[in-house]
Structure 1
């Protein structure tokens, strides 16, 4: 079954990528990396440029499953895009990275993570 990882080009994003690779290999893959770019907010540091996507693809080179790297552009909510990919791919797992802070609850209040945790038709792994 497919594993989808919402990727951002940060240390947290690469930690999520590692966890997603492990899970995809354990579950028989494929692994689908998705970076979402919101139109009109192109300077957001969560948006990966071509070079960062290449680095992520290199990071996954040698995986024991098929790897697909996607960048989705949207005017919609980031969570909606990830949920659509999970549904289209019939993914078994969605992997998300969150910043490390003392209070996990502060992150769960983020709209994107909260929406994904509550709405995903698949299991969700938060790294």
Structure 2
């Protein structure tokens, strides 16, 4: 079994990783962590720095979880990156963090979580910080 988790260095992203760790431990699953920039912006706050990724890798190794940490740079939207990786590894579950947004905010900027929830071909676990 494989779990894909969308990770950004923020409270919702950390909540997603925590939930994915719990699921991976409970199910004995492999965990694939996906971090990407927003449409090719690799200087923004959602693109994790190397120290964040190293700390995450160390945490997963310490917990004995079979894992892979991917930081994609293909210039796709974050939801497309998550869904692409999930299809590539034949994921059984996708875990994403969500935050509260106004209806206008969703309309203007779209929603990564909404796209993943609507387009995923496997189960999706959405968690709040």
Which bracket does the TM-score occupy, shorter chain normalised? 0.7 to 0.9
Stretches of structure 1 lacking an aligned partner (at least 5 in a row): none
Structure 2, unaligned stretches of length 5 or more? none
Q: Secondary structure at the match of 2:62?
A: coil
Indicate conservation of the 8 Å contact 2:8/2:46, yes or no. yes
Number of aligned pairs? 125
Residues of 1 paired with 2:53 and 2:64: CA distance?
A: 19
Residues 40 and 76 in structure 2, CA contact (< 8 A), matched pair in contact too: no
Give matches, 1:17-32, under 5 Å: 17-32=17-32
Farther off after superposition, 43-52 or 60-69: 60-69
TM-score (norm 1): 0.85
Rounded Cα–Cα distance in structure 2 between residues aligned with 1:93 and 1:125: 7
Alignment partners' CA distance in 2, 1:75 and 1:15: 25
TM-score for the superposition, normalised by structure 2: 0.84
Is the 8 Å Cα contact of residues 24 and 30 (structure 1) preserved in structure 2? yes
Separation (CA, whole Å) in 2 of partners of 1:107 and 1:89: 32
Distance 1:105 1:92 in 2: 30
Alignment of 1:114 with 2:106, yes or no, is: no
Task: Give the CA deviation at 1:55.
Answer: 1.6
| Aligned equivalents of 1:122, 1:43: Cα separation in 2 | 31
Q: Which deviates more from structure 2 when the two are superposed, residues 60-69 or residues 24-33?
A: 60-69
Cα shift readout 1:23-73 (whole Å, capped 9, x = no counterpart): 112222101111012464222101001111112122323234301111111
Counterpart position of 2:49: 49
Partner of 2:61, secondary structure, is: coil
- The RMSD of aligned alpha carbons is 2.2
